[in-house]
Every structure is written in structure tokens, then in C-alpha cells.
Amino acid sequence: MRILGIDPGSRITGYGIIVKEGNRLIHVDNGAIFTDAAGDFSLRLHRIYRGLADVIQRYRPEEIALENIFFAKNVQSALKLGQARGAAIVAGVNAGLPVFEYSALQVKQAVVGHGKAAKVQVQQMLKVLLNLPEAAQEDASDALAVAVCHAHSRGMNALRRVAG
């Protein structure tokens, strides 16, 4: 099973691709899509959509998992984050892929074993689980964590599927 994990953001959207073979998790790639924070917001959303569509075309995942919105500093931030999530969801749905979502608590629980883990703990555990030479960039690491969470949670994910 090839899984694309996405950490949506209006400035930086992280992505991580893993393969689950039996009980093994294999790292395929990770990275981030950067947008111009000073640029027109609609063009930033298009950049996120296009970047993820390219990743989907290149790596051909079978399922997509993304982090759910949990906290935003203000209403404007929450709206922008929601729109970035929408661009990510549309990229997956347009490719005919099922899209699932997980809370930050669920992701940390699946990767580290407890939901209050620090980002550094998550990055270090991903380094070990995926046999990475070094910790991934923060947004890419978050996306890999979402993919790992989905790999471990596939039996329960029918409850978390984003409605089409």
C-alpha cells in the first residue's frame, strides 16, 4: 500500500510518501511545497494544488491521509489553513483517491505512543521507523507522520474518511 501523507499549510505544505508491506514501512520520498507568503492567495492555493497533483502523478499513491485542523492563532489563519486543506483534498479527489484525515493527537499517538509528544520526538521516531539518514524538514516530517498514522490505522479509517 502506497500512502501519501500531507501536512497542509498556506505557506508550506509538507508531503511524505511511504509504502506499507506487511508490517514494514518503507520511506519513498518527502518534501515541501513552498508558496510566496506575499503573493496572491488564490495563486498560492493553486500552487499547493498543482504541487500535490504533480506528487500524486509522480508517485501514484493508493490513499491519501492529511492532518486535520486542530488549532489556529486567529480566525484568518484558520480560514487560510482550511482553504489549503481544501486544495489538498481536491488534488486527491481529482486523482480518484480516497482521502482520510487524522488529528494531531492521533498522529502523535501512532508514531510515538502518546499524544503529547514534542515535534522533535516525532521526528526522531520517524527517523528510526523509516530508516532515514537524518530528520526530515519539519513540514515533511509532519506529513510522514500522518502517512505512518494512516498505515497503522487503516482498519479504523472508515470513520475518518473525508466526505466527498
Residue from 7, 63, 101, 142 carrying the catalytic annotation: 7
Among residues 117, 90, 104, the alpha carbon closest in space to that of 149 is found at 104
7 is catalytic: yes
CB 7 within 8 A of CB 38: no
101 is catalytic: no
134 is catalytic: no
Q: How many CB atoms lie within 10 A of CB 35?
A: 20
Residue from 63, 67, 101, 142 carrying the catalytic annotation: 67
Which residues pair with residue 33 across a beta bridge? 13
Residue from 63, 101, 139, 142 carrying the catalytic annotation: 139
The catalytic residue positions are 7, 67, 139
